[in-house]
Amino acid sequence: MSWLGIDLGTSVCKAAAFTADGRLIASASREYSTLRPAPGLSELDSGEVWRKTREIIAEVAAKTGCDPIRALCVSSMGEAVVPVSKDRRLLANSILSSDIRGAEYADALRRDVGEERLCG
């Protein structure tokens, strides 16, 4: 039984399969660029990230034939959100935390929620 770990980061996605005792079986990664459609905006192409994630999973899984994957763990950027339709179509890019959209709401959140609770 092998375990698959997937890490979806801001600029790269990585996958690695390990035996139950922690020995690396295979790994793969793919890079992607941050899109900057206008000053202050930063996002990822959700379709590109998903395609590259599927590629690394397939690449690693193909090398684990003698020790099939039985468990999965995924880590991702905490702020990333991708809108998806009922039929699982990606609807937009993922806005990154460095993007300034929504900044006009920050003062109201600090006032209404409180700095300590908001930023913890």
pLDDT of residue 19: 94
| More reliable by pLDDT, 56 or 120 | 56
Which residues are paired to 6 by β-bridges?
15, 74
DSSP summary character for residue 93: P
Average pLDDT over residues 64-93: 90
Q: How far apart, in whole angstroms, are the C-alpha atoms of residue 113 and residue 115?
A: 7
Mean of pLDDT over the chain? 91
Q: Report CA dihedral (15, 19, 24, 27) to the nearest 10 degrees.
A: -20
| More reliable by pLDDT, 120 or 16 | 16
Query: Going by C-beta distance under 8 Å and a sequence separation of 6 or more, which residues neighbour residue 18?
Result: 2, 3, 5, 24, 25
Q: What percent of the chain has pLDDT over 90?
A: 68
Q: How far apart, in whole angstroms, are the C-alpha atoms of residue 74 and residue 10?
A: 14
Note whether 45 and 37 are within 8 A (CB): no
pLDDT of residue 46: 94
Tell me the domains of the chain and their CATH numbers.
2-119 (3.30.420.40)
